[in-house]
Amino acid sequence: MLNAIEIAPKVWWVGGLDWNERQFHGYTTERGITYNAYLIMDEKVTLIDTAKATFTDEFVQRISQVVDPAKIDVVITNHVEMDHSGSLPKIHELAPSATIYASAPAGVNEIRAHYGIEVEGVKTGDSLSIGERTLHFVQTPMVHWPDNMVTWCPEDGILFSNDAFGQHFATSKRFDDENDLAEVMKQAKKYYANIVWPYGAQVQKAMGALAGLDIKMIAPSHGVIWRSNIPAILEKYQAWSTYQTEDKAVVVFDSMWHSTELMAREICDAFIKEGVTAQLIDLKHTHISDIMLYMCDARYVAVGSPTLNSNMMPTVASFLTYMRGLSPNNSQRIGIAFGSYGWAPLGPKQVEQAMQDAKFEMPVPVITQQWIPGEEKLAEIQDTVKKIIEDTRA
C-alpha cells in the first residue's frame, strides 16, 4: 500500500510521484514530476485535484489508506490540465454522488470538453462549507490556463495554490524544509521561467488578491509544499512576475568551426572582467529550457550564430523561438547579437532582427566577423562589452 502523508491535522497528501519523467511540453524535468492532490477529512470528505491518468492507481491507493474513495463528498478541480485532472473520471466512477467544483465558466466548460462530466461552477468570492472548514475560491485565469483558480482554507492557513509556486521536482519529502532549499528554489525558478513567465501581469493580480491572508502553508500542484520559506518564495514571485533583473549575463551560441565560439568566450570573459556574473551556454550541450533558468533574471543576453545556408543555425533559431514564445518583458534586458560568416553575415543579422522583435534593448549593432576573429577583433569585442556595461551602470 502506498502511503498517504498527513501534512496538517486531517489534511493528507495523496498525489503521485513520477520519478522518471524527463520532459514536459518541451521543458526538461531532470528531477521528475510530482502530481499533488490533497484530501481533507471533514464532515464532507473533500478532495482537491487528482493526478495524471497514468498515476490513477497510485493516487487511489493513497486515498484508500485514509478513507474509502466512495465516501468522497466534494471534489475541487483547481485546474483542468490533464496532469492535474487525469484521474477525475476514475474518482467520478468511484464516488458518483460527489459534487465536483471548478471555476466558472472556463473550468466547467473544459471539464465538459475533456471528460463529459457536469460540474458546479464557482467564482472569486464564492465559498463552500465542508464542516469545520470553509473553503474560499479565487480565480487566477491564465496562471497558466483560463480555468485556473486557487482554494484557500483559513482554518488551516493552507493555500492550495495550483500551478503557482510549484516545481517539477519528485522527492520523497513533502516539505520545503525537508529538502535542499537551493535545489527547491532552482526548480521553482525553472518552473516559473518555462511555464508561468508569460503571465507576469496575471501573477501580479493573483498575488494582489491573496495579499493579507495569514498563510501558514502553500500546497501547490507540483513539487514540495512550502511551510518554512513562504516569504522567500513570495519575494521571488514578486521579482519574477515584475521582470526584475540582476547584474548577470547569459551568452548563448552555436558554432561550426569555433569562430563564433571564440567571440562568445570573449564576450563572456568581458562580462566577468567587469564584475558581472556570466554564464556561457553552448546550444549543442544545453537544453533551451535550462537556458531560461539562467535568463529569468539576467540583465544582459548575448546570442551568437554563424551563417549556415543563408540562415542562423537551427539551434539558435529554436532557442530564440522558444524564448519569444515565453514572452519575457525584454525591455529591461540588454541584448547583444553576434556571429561569424564566410560569404555574408546573414545568420548574425537574423539573430539581431529576432532580438529586436523580442524587444531587447540593443545598444550596439550586430557584432560580426568574417572567417576567424584575430586578437584585434577580440580586443574590440572586450571594449564593446565594457562600454555597454559602463553605459548601463551610468
User: Which one of 163, 254, 266, 297 is the catalytic residue?
Assistant: 163
- Name, in order, each residue with C-beta under 8 angstroms of 275's C-beta and a sequence gap of 6 or more: 247
Active site residue 222: yes
User: Which one of 27, 101, 191, 192 is the catalytic residue?
Assistant: 191
Inter-residue contact 310 to 346 (CB < 8 Å): yes
- Separation of alpha carbons 122 and 138, rounded Å: 9
User: Which one of 18, 21, 49, 81 is the catalytic residue?
Assistant: 81
Order of all β-strands in the sheet with 246-253:
277-282, 246-253, 298-304, 334-341, 367-370
- Separation of alpha carbons 163 and 81, rounded Å: 10
| Other C-beta atoms lying within 10 Å of the C-beta of residue 311 | 13
User: Which one of 79, 84, 92, 168 is the catalytic residue?
Assistant: 79
- Separation of alpha carbons 375 and 381, rounded Å: 10
- Separation of alpha carbons 388 and 335, rounded Å: 10
CA gyration radius, the chain: 24
User: Which one of 49, 58, 83, 297 is the catalytic residue?
Assistant: 83
Phi-psi region of 29 (alpha: psi -120 to 50; beta: other; left: phi over 0): beta
| Other C-beta atoms lying within 10 Å of the C-beta of residue 392 | 14
Active site residue 168: no
- Separation of alpha carbons 176 and 173, rounded Å: 8
Phi and psi at residue 129, to the nearest 5°:
-80, 130
Active site residue 79: yes
Active site residue 101: no
Phi and psi at residue 107, to the nearest 5°:
-65, -40
Active site residue 191: yes
User: Which one of 144, 192, 300, 352 is the catalytic residue?
Assistant: 144
Active site residue 83: yes
- Name, in order, each residue with C-beta under 8 angstroms of 358's C-beta and a sequence gap of 6 or more: 320, 323, 324, 328, 330, 335
Question: Which DSSP symbol is given to 365?
Answer: P
User: Which one of 222, 237, 266, 297 is the catalytic residue?
Assistant: 222
Question: 105: cis peptide before it, omega within 30°?
Answer: yes
C-alpha torsion angle, residues 347, 354, 197, 30 (rounded to 10): -10
Active site residue 81: yes
Active site residue 118: no
- Name, in order, each residue with C-beta under 8 angstroms of 66's C-beta and a sequence gap of 6 or more: 4, 12, 14, 39, 41
User: Which one of 25, 43, 68, 390 is the catalytic residue?
Assistant: 25
- Name, in order, each residue with C-beta under 8 angstroms of 288's C-beta and a sequence gap of 6 or more: 26, 318, 319, 322, 323
Residues serving a catalytic function are: 25, 79, 81, 83, 144, 163, 191, 222
